Structure 1
Amino acid sequence: MVFPSVIFLTTGLAYGGAETQLVNLATRLKKRGWDVCVVSMLPPQAFMEELAAAGIPLSTLNMRRGMPDPRAVFRLVKILRQWRPDILHCHMVHANLLGRVVRVFYRILVVISTAHNMNEGGRWREIAYRMTDFLADKTTNVSRAAVDRYIRVGAVPKDKIIFMPNGIDTFRFQLNQNARLQLRRELGLNENFVWLAVGRFEEAKDYPNLLQAFKSVTDERNDAALLIAGQGTLFEDIK
């Protein structure tokens, strides 16, 4: 059986939800026999070891955040000519737009754009989606509400976008009572009711609102605990 080949193009490769989904998808397809490659527009900051262990090549376009670089188009064309993928699957707004533009310079059988948010940064990006839609075969989004909004604001035609929820490895996250009790002891949680927030320390995650809400809880009861796990530019401020 011959499996397709796919290049995953991502805006960046750091510890985040979109990047985690991309890596999970890439490694699972690799295990099934697909020919897989990952390309990051920005220099990768995470998941390099995981991709290497799975035998998945990782390339970067060496772009700088906030600095448009037209040369990236031709760097990506060079990679595409080397790999000759059947599918270019792009993740997040910058990669989605770049993957569409590069189709003008190199023929790709299938181009898929995946958005991971309801709002990817303003009206001009939604207009850019609409103007380049003819260069994509399909757009997906991980949220039903986001799909509805993209249709409503005219970013993507109704017949070109589908709801594709994030996957979860239920085996990895199944309950292990012994591990649960051991970790609670290590963290000194005793019998407290625990909330866990996992995400980047960035403005979009709105941790100040979470902390204010939790303060309301602790004003009413003293047997609750809030754990926060993440990295980001606002780490010191949140702390």
Structure 2
Amino acid sequence: MRILMSIPSLEPGGAERQFAALAHGLAARGHEVLAVTLGHGGPLAAELGRARLAELGKASRWDNFRVLRALGGLLKRESPQIHYAFLPSATVLGAVLAPFFPHTRLVMGIRAADGQGRGRAGRLLLELEARLSPLADLVIANSEAGRSLCLERRFPPGRLRVVPNGVDTARFRPDKTAGAALRQEWGVAEDERLIGLVARLDPLKDHETFLKAAALLAKSAPQARFVCVGGGAEDYARSLRERARGLGLDGRLIWAGEREDMPGVYNALDALCLASVSEGFPNVLLEAMSCGVPCVATDAGDAARILGGTGLVVPAGDAQALAAGLAALLARLEREGPRLGALCRARMEAEFSLPRMLAATEALLNGVAGR
């Protein structure tokens, strides 16, 4: 197939990583893939493999008309059988252009389970996406939660399919040597239990509740240490650090910032915590579990579906429940040891591997292209 895939950018993010993995994988399977960023590329452009890249250079929201024309020009020149658009900025532009390219099948990629954290412009974009969704030949959500939201937003139900995200189990694998080196860098002793929150500094990730839960757990678990991995706005980061000091977490909590060595980060952890109030299909759980790290997660998006019986799910925004869940997971680790990590790894290989996601996506695209 000739496939054009579009996305706002290739800056690091969950949807962007899945986009790059799909473009790489589909091109490796012999399809002709053109990856298009509405703005400029980003670091993940290096992960596209054999897929070509076109950057449309969007400068601001006022540049939409020029970008629309440029995207239309690419569709005309490339004549793809499929236009697979990721995220609302791309899906809306794809739908506007769809009537002018009847031989190109439009596939909308839905990567979120709700509209939380969006401003007025973002909410308007979601409304446009829903209204234009009948112009799509297929809508692929990456989570059951996302599919349910699409139904609430009145997307055509007969065109909705779910393909869960996939994790590269060859990259994200147990590697205790890498983990031990990072623990040493952070000053974490071998007999301490390191619990990590891996997320950008954003209110939707609810670091506030994680910090409260950490403070509660620290009182009853002297061996527990905590680390926050991820970057964000400096003023928000400063407020979180002040909050942590106020909760008495100095000496127990590490602020690691952004890291490039994510497999090493996961392998340094004994347990991972997802405290988010909003998620679709959280990649961080896939990556941690693929490294053999068990997780406690809030009941956001498809978190419970990902964990299965390997971890614990607690209500969002409840610090006491989160602290209790983390304590229960640490106790389970004491009982089961490496067996629990092996169960996490086996679940990822069986249910959420990258080849499984690629095969499911390829089958749907073949179907909508009439192959």
Q: Write out aligned runs for 1:60-209 (5 A).
A: 60-67=55-62, 69-120=64-115, 121=118, 124-154=124-154, 156-190=155-189, 191-209=191-209
Report the counterpart of residue 30 of structure 2 in structure 1. Answer: 33
User: Over the residues paired in the alignment, what is the CA RMSD in angstroms?
Assistant: 2.2
Cα displacement (A) at 1:98: 1.0
Report the counterpart of residue 217 of structure 1 in structure 2. Answer: 217
Report the counterpart of residue 282 of structure 2 in structure 1. Answer: none
Report if aligned partners of 1:194, 1:227 keep a CA contact under 8 Å in 2.
Answer: yes
Report the residue type matching 1:45 in the other structure.
Answer: G
Which segments of structure 1 move beyond 6 Å, counting only runs of 4 or more?
none
Q: Write out aligned runs for 1:220-235 (5 A).
A: 220-233=220-233, 234-235=236-237
Report if aligned partners of 2:2, 2:32 keep a CA contact under 8 Å in 1.
Answer: yes
Are 1:9 and 2:9 an aligned pair?
no
Report if aligned partners of 2:4, 2:83 keep a CA contact under 8 Å in 1.
Answer: yes
Report the residue type matching 1:127 in the other structure.
Answer: E
1:57 aligns with one of 52, 59, 65:
52
Cα displacement (A) at 1:50: 2.7
**Could you report, residue by residue, the CA deviation over 1:108-132 in whole angstroms, capped at 9, with x for unpaired residues?**
4321111111124465444323321
165-174 or 21-30: bigger deviation: 165-174
Counterpart CA distance in 1 for 2:52 and 2:173 is: 31
Cα displacement (A) at 1:222: 2.6
Structure in which a larger fraction of residues adopt helix: 2
Report if aligned partners of 2:4, 2:35 keep a CA contact under 8 Å in 1.
Answer: yes
Are 1:23 and 2:35 an aligned pair?
no
What secondary structure sits across from 2:5 in the alignment? strand
Report if aligned partners of 1:88, 1:108 keep a CA contact under 8 Å in 2.
Answer: no
Cα displacement (A) at 1:47: 1.5
Cα displacement (A) at 1:162: 1.6
Report if aligned partners of 1:111, 1:136 keep a CA contact under 8 Å in 2.
Answer: yes
Report the residue type matching 1:170 in the other structure.
Answer: T
**Could you report, residue by residue, the CA deviation over 1:112-163 in whole angstroms, capped at 9, with x for unpaired residues?**
1111111244654443233212210111222212211221242x12212122
Cα displacement (A) at 1:66: 4.1
Cα displacement (A) at 1:9: 0.4
What secondary structure sits across from 1:139 in the alignment? strand
Counterpart CA distance in 2 for 1:231 and 1:67 is: 28
Counterpart CA distance in 1 for 2:107 and 2:194 is: 39
Q: How many matched pairs?
A: 233
The answer for unaligned runs of 5 or more in structure 2 is 242-371
Report if aligned partners of 2:91, 2:108 keep a CA contact under 8 Å in 1.
Answer: yes
Cα displacement (A) at 1:235: 4.1
The answer for unaligned runs of 5 or more in structure 1 is none
TM-score (norm 1): 0.87
Report if aligned partners of 2:21, 2:47 keep a CA contact under 8 Å in 1.
Answer: no
Counterpart CA distance in 2 for 1:235 and 1:102 is: 41
What secondary structure sits across from 2:43 in the alignment? coil
Report the counterpart of residue 44 of structure 1 in structure 2. Answer: 41
